[in-house]
Amino acid sequence: MNKIVEQFNINVESVYELANFDRVVLDFVINLVLSQKNVHGVNRLQINATENAAKALKNVRDHDSLRPKYQTVFNQCLVLLVSYFGLTINNLFNSYLTEFLKLGLIPPNCGKEEIKVSLTELETLNYDVLGNIGELVVSSKDISFQDMQSITRAFRDWLGYEPKQDRDVNNIIVGQACRHVIVHSGSVVNKRLLFQIRNATPRDLKLIFVENELLRFSPDEIEIVGKSMIQYVERLSSELRSRLPPASANSGSAATDESIF
């Protein structure tokens, strides 16, 4: 589980880097231009030209003059963040559910749940039901990890933990709703988005939406969503880990008949 969280943090950092790609490129070019000053045989006229070019590039860098050209990239950074988040929550759910089942720690009401699986699916999973029980539950119960309500229900019903709706969750809700608009509605704010985020307060992300306007994310807003996602993932994993017996939390191999529910 720790590796899942660590990989998510790495993925979020990669999105931050993508959102600041223009600055990375400009910094590289500025340094390259300035390095020409030290080339042997360069005269004063060439040095002045080099310094003027570097100054012009620094002005572009300092004033983010190229940022409007990268608007599509910034919006796609949000899409990428939501995808990484959904995959990470999916992996955590699968891992913890498998571990909880091995230890007999699932809520009593889950014992009567029916899971339908085809022989083809079993063959694909090499007939390892317990090792893939989380994936089977997700598939059978049609759980979505790109929707916070569905995520909350999944962890509440199957793992006995209901994450609270706080500022971080509200930021993620807005991010998920905006992702849907970017992918399916050409980035145009619609009634569905306004309905989805109606209760997402308090929050730090996009406090005002106007129907029919274009969504335009900035690198700073990308960072707000990423930080909230990291907080949520780390808190979720930590809370579930605390519910495991000490030996299991450390090694993942111990067993117990005790129930925490």
For the chain, give the secondary structure using H, E and C.
CHHHHHHHHHHHHHHHHHHCHHHHHHHHHHHHHHHHHHCCCCCHHHHHHHHHHHHHHHHHHHCCCCHHHHHHHHHHHHHHHHHHHHHHHHHHHHHHHHHHHHCCCCCHHHHHCCCCCCHHHHHHCCCCCHHHHHHHHHHHHCCCCCCHHHHHHHHHHHHCCCCCCCHHHHHHHHHHHHHHHHHHCCCECCHHHHHHCCCCCCCCCCCCCCCCCECCCCHHHHHHHHHHHHHHHHHHHHHHHHCCCHHHHHHCCCCCCCCCC
Q: What is the dihedral of CA 160, 161, 164, 165, to 10 degrees?
A: -80
- Could you tell me the pLDDT band of residue 250, with boundaries at 50, 70 and 90? low
Tokens representing 14?
């990669």
Q: Is the pLDDT confidence value at 165 over 60?
A: yes
Q: Is the pTM of this model over 0.75?
A: yes
Most trustworthy range by pLDDT among 45-54, 134-143, 163-172, 238-247: 163-172
Using DSSP's 3-state secondary structure scheme, residue 192 falls into: helix
- Burial of 225 by CB count in 10 Å (0-12 exposed, 13-18 middle, 19+ buried)? buried
Mean pLDDT (whole number) for 23-34: 74
Mean pLDDT (whole number) for 235-256: 72
Mean pLDDT (whole number) for 82-108: 89
Dihedral of CA 137/141/145/150: which sign?
negative
More confident residue, 225 or 71: 225
Percent of the chain with pLDDT over 90: 49
- Could you tell me the pLDDT band of residue 8, with boundaries at 50, 70 and 90? very high
pLDDT score for 63: 67
pLDDT score for 249: 61
pLDDT digits (tens, 9 = 90+) for 183-209: 999 999 999 999 999 999 999 999 999
pLDDT digits (tens, 9 = 90+) for 109-120: 776 677 788 888
Tokens representing 217?
């994310």
- Could you tell me the pLDDT band of residue 90, with boundaries at 50, 70 and 90? very high
Opening angle at CA 195, ends 152 and 177, nearest 5: 60
- Which among 85, 26, 23 is positioned nearest to 219, based on CA atoms? 23
More confident residue, 87 or 248: 87
pLDDT digits (tens, 9 = 90+) for 122-153: 888 888 887 888 788 887 877 889 899 999 99
Q: Which of 73-77, 89-93, 135-139, 170-174 has the lowest mean pLDDT?
A: 135-139
Distance CA 56, CA 54 (A): 5
Q: Is the pLDDT confidence value at 242 over 70?
A: yes
- Could you tell me the pLDDT band of residue 260, with boundaries at 50, 70 and 90? very low
Mean pLDDT (whole number) for 3-32: 86
